[in-house]
Chain A
Amino acid sequence: MKTRRLSLLLLTLLLLSGCAATAPQGKAKYALADFEPPGKERPLDVADPIEPANKELYRFNYYFDRYLFLPVVNGYEYVMPDYAEQRVSNFFDNLGEFGNFTNAVLQLKPKSAGITLSRFLINTTVGIGGLWDPASNWNLQRQDEDFGQTLGRYGAGNGPYVVLPILGPSNARDTTGLIADTAISSAVDPLNFDHNEELAIPYQAGRAIDTRHRQPFRYYKSGSPFEYELVRLLYTEKRKLQIAK
Chain B
Amino acid sequence: MRLLTLLLFGLLLSTFPALAAGDDYDYPHADPLVATILGTPSGQRAPLAEDLPVRLIDLEVLPDHKVPDIFWYNEKLRCSLAYQKQKAPLIFVVAGTGAGFNSDKMLALQSIFYQAGFHVVGISSPTHANFITAASGSAAPGVLRRDARDLYRVMQKVYEEVKDDIDVSTFHLAGYSLGGAQAAFISQLDDEVKVFNFTKVLMINPPVSLYNSASRLDRMLDENVQGGAAGAGTFLREQMNRLAQIYSASDFVKFDNEFLYNIYRNASEPPKENNLAALIGISFRISAVNMMFATDVMTQSGFVVPKGAELDNNDDLDDYFRTLTYISFARYLDELLLPIAQAGNSQVTRQQVIDGSSLVAIEEYLRKTGKIGVVTNADDLILDAAELDYLRSVFGSRAKIYPTGGHCGNIDHQQVASYLAAYFTQSGAEGAKP
Contacts and interface: CB of A to CB of B under 8 A. Distances in A.
Interface of A: 17, 20-32, 34-36, 40-44, 51-53, 55-56, 59, 62, 141-143, 220-226, 229, 237-238, 240-241, 244-245
Interface string B21-36: 0000000000000000
B73 interface: yes
A63 to B, nearest CB: 11
Contact of A225 (B233, B236, B293): B293
Main secondary structure of the interface of A (DSSP, over half): loop
Nearest to B77: A223
B248 interface: yes
Contacts of B311: 22
Given A24-B307, A30-B303, A221-B102, 20 more contacts: A21-B312, A21-B315, A22-B312, A25-B306, A25-B308, A26-B308, A27-B302, A29-B335, A31-B304, A31-B323, A40-B230, A44-B233, A52-B314, A55-B314, A223-B100, A225-B290, A225-B317, A226-B321, A240-B244, A241-B244
B269 interface: no
Contact of B309 (A22, A51, A59): A22
Nearest to A139: B251
Contacts of B317: 225-226, 229
B237 A226 contact: no
Interface stretch (B3-11, B124-132, B345-353, B421-429): B124-132
Interface string B66-102: 0000110110001000000000000000000000101
Given A31-B323, A224-B129, A229 B318 contact: yes
B314 A27 contact: no
Contacts of A17: 314
Interface residues of B, number: 55
B383 interface: no
Given A22-B310, A22-B312, A237-B240, A28 B128 contact: no
A244 B322 contact: no
A51 B237 contact: no
A119 B54 CA distance: 37
B294 interface: yes
Interface in B180-227: none
A59 B313 contact: yes
A56 B236 CA distance: 29
A93 to B, nearest CB: 14
A35 B323 CA distance: 7
Contact of A28 (B100, B294, B305): B305
A244 B294 contact: no
B319 interface: yes
Contacts of A56: 313-314
Contact of A226 (B255, B289, B327): B289
Contacts of B314: 17, 20, 51-53, 55-56
